[in-house]
Amino acid sequence: MKKISINIVLLCAILLVSLAGIAQTQIISEELLLMNDSIQLPGTLTYNKNLDRQPLIIFVQGSGNPDRNGNQPALGVNANYIKVLRDSLNKNNIAFYSYDKRNVTQANMPALMKHFVFEDLVEDVSTAIHHFKSEKRFNHITLLGHSQGALVALLAVSNDIDKYISLAGLGTSVDMAITRQISAQNESLGQSTKDHFEELNDTGAIKEVNPMLLSIFAKANLDFLKSYMKYRPTDEISKLKIPTLIINGTKDIQVTVKDAEALHKANPSSKLAIIEKMNHVLKVIENDSDNLTSYSNVNFPLSKELITVITEFITQQ
């Protein structure tokens, strides 16, 4: 009898390993190249092949030039946070699509050097929505915008979108946010920032840029900044009629909890989730000193609470 029991245990163990192997093969990854006119938007779609219908997230990334996985090697950002988020949500039977931002792909650079404004990013999201809106594999679509992408996604919401998530999205216009961030470090430089934004808004140019602010107010950035700063996220989110979730982390040093609260106040029917110890790249940080380190280190864990909150919001009827 003892020998039989051992064999049964071994058989169960083998079965479990086999089932685990099957579960791992359920997730299919498709490489897609979407085109917004001449702009190339290479991306990745992942989904559970064993489900006839499942919800889809279209992820809209933040500022800079993040790729579909959330990395910006030139800036030392290698946290892989979008990919880890993708993998985690796939396990909960949620399909996920993300793409390289238009300024990642080298073939797009000549066009971007000629013209690049905030609305171009919104059109890129609309391209993705148009591609997936008739997909029978997906029963509904959620736009999830992170950081700058929260406003981009918000402006791209259409009748084909069922739900919207703001993840670390600003509650103020970008000029106010940047001025606030710089003023916290240097009050005088913050005043110069405010003056530059006002001049840009009034004249469309800046005659003499403070040398310490050239990375922000370089001539090549001015058209984009002017088109970006005219939007007030609270005004835009107040117009939404679809289910809305607003998320922010208490360890986020780029976007504050107050931003999330302002968005929620502007749309009281939205759901607000403040996640303890989560930072801007969605990682759990115990010590403030580890915050920036987590941007370049994939070993910091993604917030499990974030996965739970998003999954519950998307799967609820």
pLDDT tens-digit readout, 230-240: 999 999 999 99
Q: Are 163 and 245 in contact (CB under 8 A)?
A: yes
β-pairing, 95-99 vs 39-48, is antiparallel
Question: Which pLDDT value is given to residue 122?
Answer: 98
> What is the amino acid identity at position 50?
N
Per-domain boundaries in the chain: 27-173+231-315
What is the rounded average pLDDT of the residues 268-288?
Answer: 96
The token pair at 97 is 């699509």
Residue 316: is its pLDDT beyond 50? yes
Residue 31: is its pLDDT beyond 60? yes
Euclidean distance between CA atoms 117 and 307, whole angstroms = 32
Question: Which pLDDT value is given to residue 23?
Answer: 44
Question: Which pLDDT value is given to residue 73?
Answer: 87
Euclidean distance between CA atoms 129 and 304, whole angstroms = 28
Residue 218: is its pLDDT beyond 50? yes
Residue 25: is its pLDDT beyond 50? no
Euclidean distance between CA atoms 140 and 124, whole angstroms = 19
What is the rounded average pLDDT of the residues 133-148?
Answer: 95
Quickly tell me which residue has 């997906």 as its tokens. 138
181-191 pLDDT, tens digit each: 999 999 999 99
What is the rounded average pLDDT of the residues 125-147?
Answer: 95
Residue 12: is its pLDDT beyond 70? no
Element (H, E) at 234: helix 233-237
| pLDDT band of 19, cuts 50, 70, 90 | very low
Question: Which pLDDT value is given to residue 298?
Answer: 87
What is the rounded average pLDDT of the residues 172-180?
Answer: 96
Q: 27-173+231-315 — its CATH code?
A: 3.40.50.1820
Q: How many CB atoms are closer than 10 A to CB 155? A: 17
Question: Which pLDDT value is given to residue 58?
Answer: 98
Euclidean distance between CA atoms 290 and 304, whole angstroms = 18
